[in-house]
Copies of this chain bind each other. A is one copy, B any other.
Amino acid sequence: MFKITTEVITGAEVREAVEGPDAGAVVLFFGTVRNNTDGRAVRCLEYEAYPPMAEKKMAEIAQEISEKWGIDRVAMVHRVGKLEIGEVSVAVAVASPHRKDGFEACKYAMDRLKQIVPIWKREVWADGEAEWVKPDAVFFDTAKPHKTAPQTD
């Protein structure tokens, strides 16, 4: 299960996708929206994706995991649209016979997701400013308000 969704992520969807009577260890990762980034107050986040390519890349990550660890039970879901503080942006589940492999594979999935899956985050600060984020730095400060950005609360 590799999915871009606009729905709330509960975790049950990825967990159910990997569970089975012969898989004893399930490792889950949830990324949630924090109320601050480097100390600056965040109002909400907006995620945009290129869904067909994102889902294809997620499946490729699962294929890499299958080759590295022999684990075939991997599920990933990433939400897009506006997310409030505390909401889950991404969930990854890995079921494996050995817990060590499960932790490694789940971490690997998240590392790769951030490298190759076309999804972008826009931070909407508490003061109303907004900007697209790039890895390790702000990529682009928007001069004009973004079309989908909330201007008031």
Q: Report A's interface with B, CB cutoff 8 A.
A: 11, 15, 19-36, 85-86, 99-100, 102-103, 106-107, 110
Question: Measured between alpha carbons, how far is A22 from B27 in the docked complex, in Å?
Answer: 22
Given A36-B22, A103-B107, A107-B100: A28 and B31 within 8 A (CB)?
no
Q: How many copies does the complex hold?
A: 2
What 6 pairs across the A-B complex have the smallest Cβ distances? A21-B35, A28-B28, A26-B30, A24-B34, A103-B107, A21-B85
Chain B neighbourhood of A25, CB < 8 A = 29-32
Closest CB in chain B relative to A100 CB, distance in Å: 7
A132 to B87, CA, bound (A): 42
Is there contact, CB below 8 Å, between B28 and A32?
A: no
